[in-house]
């Protein structure tokens, strides 16, 4: 922030004070250390944009000072890294490849694997050889040409030449390729939870798209620094300048090119590295050989301007570059590379690369960028909570192999030979044959087998050090569990990840006789994927599956057929309605029964109140006990919580689950003989049933953000279609011959939209939709739903 920077500058050396005086007195006094060839006009332009920078920075400062509580500072590290650890970690990167659907993540990863020697030949997504890319190993992925599950791999990369000599040499990189379709968003979520850096891929034609924004939000949630890679530079209509503008404006991050393309579309034949100040070409089989040379004269002017823009953007976020710039000092490639690294890791900047994965151009530059600009595991502090006092500030872990183990199971796969658990080791060492404790359950287990994943292949290893990602075989656990190797679990638990709630459901039954495979498959999918849920409807006795979208559920239905030989019949997709209250309601409820023998007695006093979703975990229901003194014995409090959880399952208005509600237990009473767990469980249920109708309850429905892209001539028809579905148009953007329309539409009104859009745009329109929030349904709809529910239950 400018203001904080100024304060620190004011306290520093006299030279820095001069900088401060310059910055605050007049922006026209600013000069840039641009190469001598720079024109007057360019200098003027940079002064102007510098001015607007000071304004926007100030605004951001004010926003930050706008009364938000100061974040809790984590406790300092307990252990320290050995020299050996530091050496290893400096050469280690854990990165994710994330982006909108079809932007070329898997194609890029395929090149990375080829250039690093992990695969012997390149196979394309939807390629003619029908083999398919390495990372899309599932049959369905290869058939459909989309990524469904994230896949992990690792590779070694040699940075042959760096502007910072000490950074050249060999690196180990763990890579996770993630799906772009929003229905599989949990795969991105859990990958970003455990990765230290990311490559955000963008299409040079389409730029920032709806899922780019979703992925950006996920990267921010876990503070993941990112490189931006503008892919598909070979495509007609490629416009990297526009994409850069969108990164800055739509994703609101400072960004600048670190390389620029030479030639466009089919003439795209290499890039100019603005840091090394060289032209880079790909030659040989599949662009395997990287050659560098002088910058061709025809690109010199553009290169100078773009390097100046890079310096200028960095000066806005990096003190050292700002000072050098103000002093009108030439900035060396070494300084520039160091500043890009600093600014990227501190989440203030994203270096932007141009290239084409399919045309085998500039992928090696991105690999160099991963090593040079993304953080080491040591540079991203991992935090864990004390199990004994979870409200204490989090503890900063140390990625040293000698400390007690703290590791997080972030993804599970149920295989024929047992559970495969993907795990990130944050501190300590995970050893094959070692005994580890699941911190959540307290259960001790032996690690039978430890592997490193290469898509669907495994390579056995004996131990994995801090900062690494690997997988364990044959250990039962849930996604999000923490493992430790010290007695009692070492006392630390990693914070969990954000899990979005399902929005759509359908009834499912096997065709013909039900075999054990039906429930076996459902149990497996439910365990692997926290956004996929299964329950039996109490009213209709049907098995209901819920998930993030129609594609999500379709894929599971198809997998049941292929992997479990269970063909299924499914009902119509239904929207996942919810119920909630709008006001807090106090309660004082006594559950009392006297019938012969021992009676039942439990009294609960407290309130239920509306609750906002927790941004970190996605949870919007909670139980809190404020009971002090022994009016309710501590042993009965979990029973009260159980009663509340029972009540959440079925709403009182329409039978849909309850969300956005907190149960606060303040007081109560117990009877020495007649009180029991059951009595308190029933008391909580009774209290909830009595209080809920007094809290102005409403039925909620999922509202979706719908993005539609279609040729301009169909704009009128598309808008008409959205209006007809009672949607609210949030934004329209026109680009060349195409328009993008963003609207908010309730999911219930979106059924059948795919075919309607196809029909009204001659098949040229595309849309994506993403869950936005649950909102109250219209009062008349709520009334209808309540009446239908009432008559259904009355019939029963
Ligand atoms: N012209 C061009 N096409 C590309 C490029 N990179 C990828 N593609 C094509 O874009 C399509 C999608 O590529 P993928 O690599 O599957 O994209 P993805 O981002 O992994 O897709 P999802 O995982 O399904 O989100 C394929 O047909 C690729 O051949 C590129 O640089 N240029
Ligand atoms: Mg893919």
Span 616-639, pLDDT tens digits: 788 899 999 999 888 899 999 999
- Which residue range(s) make up the domain with 567? 504-575
Does residue 98 sit in the same domain as residue 228? yes
593 is in an annotated binding site: no
Is residue 525 scored above 50 in pLDDT? yes
Largest CA distance in the chain: 100
pLDDT digits (tens, 9 = 90+) for 738-768: 899 999 999 999 988 988 898 898 888 888 8
What pLDDT, on a 0 to 100 scale, did the predictor assign at position 488?
A: 61
Q: Which of the two residues, 518 and 29, has the higher pLDDT score?
A: 518
Ligand 1 site-directed mutation target among 96, 110, 125, most atoms within 8 Å of CB: 125
Question: What's the pTM value of the predicted model, to 2 decimals?
Answer: 0.83
Distance 175 CA to ligand 2 centre (A): 13
Q: Is 789 helix (H, G, I), strand (E, B) or coil?
A: helix
- Residue 787 burial (CB count, 10 A): 11
Is residue 781 scored above 70 in pLDDT? yes
Residue 185 maps to which CATH number?
A: 3.40.50.300
For helices 363-373 and 105-115, angle between their N-to-C axes, nearest 10 degrees: 80
Is residue 215 scored above 60 in pLDDT? yes
In a domain, 692, yes or no: yes
Domain boundary, last residue among 555, 575, 595: 575
In a domain, 792, yes or no: no
Does residue 667 sit in the same domain as residue 711? no
Does residue 127 sit in the same domain as residue 263? yes
- Residue 628 burial (CB count, 10 A): 8
In a domain, 54, yes or no: yes
What pLDDT, on a 0 to 100 scale, did the predictor assign at position 626?
A: 93
Is residue 2 scored above 70 in pLDDT? no
Does residue 307 sit in the same domain as residue 204? yes
Alpha-carbon distances, residue 227 vs 57, 167, 181 (angstroms): 22, 18, 20
Q: How confident is the model at residue 596 (pLDDT cuts 50, 70, 90)?
A: low
What pLDDT, on a 0 to 100 scale, did the predictor assign at position 512?
A: 87
Distance 181 CA to ligand 2 centre (A): 9
What pLDDT, on a 0 to 100 scale, did the predictor assign at position 735?
A: 78
Residues 707-721, mean pLDDT to the nearest whole number: 93
Residues 117-121, mean pLDDT to the nearest whole number: 91
pLDDT digits (tens, 9 = 90+) for 332-353: 999 999 999 999 999 999 999 9
In the chain, the percentage of residues whose pLDDT exceeds 70 is 90
Ligand 1 site-directed mutation target among 97, 103, 104, most atoms within 8 Å of CB: 104
Q: Are 625 and 669 in contact (CB under 8 A)?
A: no
Q: Please calculate the CA angle 699-703-709 and round it to the nearest 5 degrees.
A: 165
Is residue 644 scored above 60 in pLDDT? yes
Domain boundary, last residue among 494, 529, 555: 494
Q: Is the C-beta atom of 134 inside 6 A of ligand 1?
A: no
Name the domain count of the chain. 6
In a domain, 40, yes or no: no
In a domain, 79, yes or no: no
Does residue 224 sit in the same domain as residue 328? yes
pLDDT digits (tens, 9 = 90+) for 298-331: 999 999 999 999 999 999 999 999 999 888 888 9
Q: Please calculate the CA angle 186-190-193 and round it to the nearest 5 degrees.
A: 140
What pLDDT, on a 0 to 100 scale, did the predictor assign at position 282?
A: 94
Does residue 571 sit in the same domain as residue 606? no
In a domain, 736, yes or no: yes
Distance CA(458)–CA(472), nearest Å, equals: 10
Strand ranges, E, within 481-615: 482-484, 492-494, 504-510, 533-536, 543-547, 568-570, 574-575, 578-580, 585-593, 600-610
Is residue 74 scored above 50 in pLDDT? yes
Residues 677-685, mean pLDDT to the nearest whole number: 94
495 is in an annotated binding site: no
Residue 777 maps to which CATH number?
A: 3.30.70.240
In a domain, 148, yes or no: no
Does residue 238 sit in the same domain as residue 302? yes
Does residue 182 sit in the same domain as residue 294? yes
pLDDT digits (tens, 9 = 90+) for 401-455: 989 999 999 999 987 778 999 999 999 999 999 999 998 888 999 999 999 999 9
Residues 6 or more apart whose CB falls under 8 angstroms from that of 723 comprise none
Residue 136 is given by DSSP the state -
Which ligand is located closest to the Cα atom of residue 203? 1
Does residue 718 sit in the same domain as residue 605? no
Least confident of 485-489, 549-553, 683-687: 485-489
Helix (H) and strand (E) counts for the chain? 20, 38
What is the residue with the minimal CA distance to atom 14 of ligand 1?
A: 104
- Cα dihedral sign, 293-296-297-303: negative
Residue 401 maps to which CATH number?
A: 2.40.30.10
Q: Is the C-beta atom of 151 inside 6 A of ligand 1?
A: no
Q: How confident is the model at residue 5 (pLDDT cuts 50, 70, 90)?
A: very low
- With CA atoms as reference, report the closest residue to 467 among 78, 84, 200: 84
Does residue 235 sit in the same domain as residue 303? yes
Q: Is the C-beta atom of 109 inside 6 A of ligand 1?
A: no
Q: How confident is the model at residue 15 (pLDDT cuts 50, 70, 90)?
A: very low
Q: How confident is the model at residue 42 (pLDDT cuts 50, 70, 90)?
A: very low
Is residue 718 scored above 90 in pLDDT? yes
Q: Are 699 and 624 in contact (CB under 8 A)?
A: no
Is residue 70 scored above 80 in pLDDT? no
Domain boundary, last residue among 441, 463, 494: 494
Ligand 1 site-directed mutation target among 106, 143, 233, most atoms within 8 Å of CB: 106
Is residue 677 scored above 50 in pLDDT? yes
Number of the ligand 1 atom closest to the C-alpha atom of 147 = 23
| Half-sphere CA count of 733, side-chain side, radius 13 A | 16
Distance CA(387)–CA(306), nearest Å, equals: 51
CA torsion, ordered 356, 360, 365, 371, to nearest 10 deg: 110
Q: Is 772 helix (H, G, I), strand (E, B) or coil?
A: strand
Residues 146-164, mean pLDDT to the nearest whole number: 92
What pLDDT, on a 0 to 100 scale, did the predictor assign at position 36?
A: 36
Q: Is the C-beta atom of 103 inside 6 A of ligand 1?
A: yes
What pLDDT, on a 0 to 100 scale, did the predictor assign at position 490?
A: 65
pLDDT digits (tens, 9 = 90+) for 461-488: 999 999 999 999 989 898 889 999 887 6
Residues 566-578, mean pLDDT to the nearest whole number: 92
Does residue 685 sit in the same domain as residue 571? no
Distance 105 CA to ligand 2 centre (A): 5
Residue 526 maps to which CATH number?
A: 3.30.70.870
Q: Is the C-beta atom of 359 inside 6 A of ligand 1?
A: yes
Residues 566-572, mean pLDDT to the nearest whole number: 94
Does residue 586 sit in the same domain as residue 628? yes
What pLDDT, on a 0 to 100 scale, did the predictor assign at position 452?
A: 94
CB burial class (10 A; 0-12, 13-18, 19+) of residue 498? buried
Distance CA(465)–CA(463), nearest Å, equals: 7
Question: 673 phi and psi, to 5 degrees?
Answer: -100, -45
In a domain, 176, yes or no: yes
**Mean pLDDT, the chain, whole residue set:** 87
CA torsion, ordered 765, 766, 769, 775, to nearest 10 deg: 0
What pLDDT, on a 0 to 100 scale, did the predictor assign at position 616?
A: 79
Alpha-carbon distances, residue 487 vs 28, 423, 670, 730 (angstroms): 64, 20, 37, 55
What is the residue with the minimal CA distance to atom 7 of ligand 1?
A: 104
């Amino acid at each position: 922030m400018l203001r904080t920077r100024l304060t620190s500058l004011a306290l520093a050396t006299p030279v820095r004070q001069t900088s401060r005086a310059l910055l605050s007195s007049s922006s026209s006094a600013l000069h840039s250390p641009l190469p001598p060839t720079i024109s007057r006009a360019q200098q003027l332009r940079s002064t102007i944009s510098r001015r607007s920078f000071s304004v926007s920075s100030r605004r951001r400062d004010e926003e930050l000072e706008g009364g938000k509580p100061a974040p809790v500072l984590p406790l300092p590290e307990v252990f320290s890294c050995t020299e050996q650890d530091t050496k290893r970690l400096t050469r280690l990167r854990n990165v994710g490849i994330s982006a909108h659907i079809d932007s070329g993540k898997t194609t890029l990863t395929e090149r990375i694997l080829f250039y690093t020697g992990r695969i012997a030949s390149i196979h394309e997504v939807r390629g003619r050889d029908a083999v398919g890319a390495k990372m899309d190993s599932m049959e369905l992925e290869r058939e459909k040409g989309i990524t469904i599950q994230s896949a992990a791999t690792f590779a070694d990369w040699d940075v042959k030449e760096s502007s910072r000599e000490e950074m050249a040499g060999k690196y180990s990189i763990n890579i996770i390729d993630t799906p772009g379709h929003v229905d599989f968003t949990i795969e991105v979520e859990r990958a970003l939870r455990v990765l230290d850096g990311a490559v955000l891929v963008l299409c040079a034609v389409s730029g920032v798209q709806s899922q780019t924004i979703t992925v950006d939000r996920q990267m921010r949630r876990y503070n993941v620094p990112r490189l931006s890679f503008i892919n598909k530079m070979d495509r007609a209509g490629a416009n990297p300048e526009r994409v850069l503008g969108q990164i800055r404006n739509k994703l609101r991050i400072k960004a600048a090119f670190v390389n620029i393309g030479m030639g466009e579309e089919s003439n795209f034949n290499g890039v100019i590295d603005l840091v090394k100040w060289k032209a880079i070409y790909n030659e040989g089989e599949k662009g395997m050989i990287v050659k560098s040379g002088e910058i061709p004269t025809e690109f010199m002017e553009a290169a100078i301007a773009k390097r100046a823009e890079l310096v200028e953007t960095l000066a806005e976020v990096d003190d050292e570059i700002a000072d050098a710039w103000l002093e009108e000092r030439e900035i060396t490639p070494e300084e520039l590379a160091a500043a890009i690294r600093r600014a990227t890791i501190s989440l203030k900047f994203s270096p932007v690369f141009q290239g084409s994965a399919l045309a085998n151009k500039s992928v090696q530059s991105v690999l160099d960028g991963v090593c040079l600009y993304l953080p080491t595991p040591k540079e991203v502090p991992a935090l864990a909570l004390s199990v004994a006092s979870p409200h204490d500030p989090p503890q900063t872990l140390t990625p040293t192999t000698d400390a007690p183990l703290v590791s997080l199971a972030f993804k599970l796969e149920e295989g024929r030979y047992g559970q495969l658990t993907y795990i990130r080791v944050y501190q300590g060492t995970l050893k094959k044959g070692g005994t580890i404790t699941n911190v959540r359950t307290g259960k001790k287990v032996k690690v039978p087998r430890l592997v490193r994943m290469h898509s669907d292949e495994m390579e056995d290893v004996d131990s994995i050090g801090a900062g690494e990602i690997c997988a364990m075989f044959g250990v039962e656990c849930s996604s999000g569990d923490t493992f430790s190797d010290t007695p009692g679990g070492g006392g630390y638990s990693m914070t969990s990840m954000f899990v979005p709630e399902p929005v759509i459901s359908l009834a499912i039954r096997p065709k013909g006789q039900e075999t054990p495979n039906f429930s076996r498959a459902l149990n497996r999918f439910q365990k692997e994927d926290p956004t996929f849920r299964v329950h039996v409807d109490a009213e209709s006795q049907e098995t209901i599956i819920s998930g993030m979208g129609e594609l999500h559920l379709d894929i599971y239905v198809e997998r049941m057929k292929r992997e479990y030989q269970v063909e299924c019949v499914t009902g119509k997709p239904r929207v996942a309605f919810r119920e909630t209250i709008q006001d807090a309601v106090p309660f004082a409820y006594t559950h009392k029964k006297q019938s012969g023998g021992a009676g039942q007695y439990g009294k609960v006093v407290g309130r239920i109140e509306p609750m906002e979703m927790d941004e970190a975990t996605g949870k919007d229901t909670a139980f809190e006990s404020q009971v002090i003194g022994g009016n309710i014995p501590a042993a009965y409090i979990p029973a009260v919580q159980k009663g509340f959880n029972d009540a959440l399952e079925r709403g009182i208005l329409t039978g849909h689950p309850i969300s956005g509600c907190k149960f606060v237990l303040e007081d109560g009473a117990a009877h020495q003989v007649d009180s029991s767990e059951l009595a308190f469980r029933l008391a909580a249920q009774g209290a909830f049933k009595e209080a809920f109708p007094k809290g102005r309850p409403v039925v909620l429905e999922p509202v979706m953000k719908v993005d539609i892209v279609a040729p301009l001539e169909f704009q009128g028809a598309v808008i008409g279609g959205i209006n007809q579905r009672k949607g609210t148009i949030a934004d329209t953007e026109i680009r060349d011959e195409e328009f993008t329309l963003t609207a908010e539409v309730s999911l219930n009104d979106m059924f059948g939209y795919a075919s309607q859009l196809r029909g009204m745009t001659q098949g040229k329109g595309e849309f994506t939709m993403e869950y936005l929030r649950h909102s109250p349904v219209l009062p008349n709809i709520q009334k209808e739903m309540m009446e239908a529910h009432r008559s259904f239950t009355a019939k029963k």
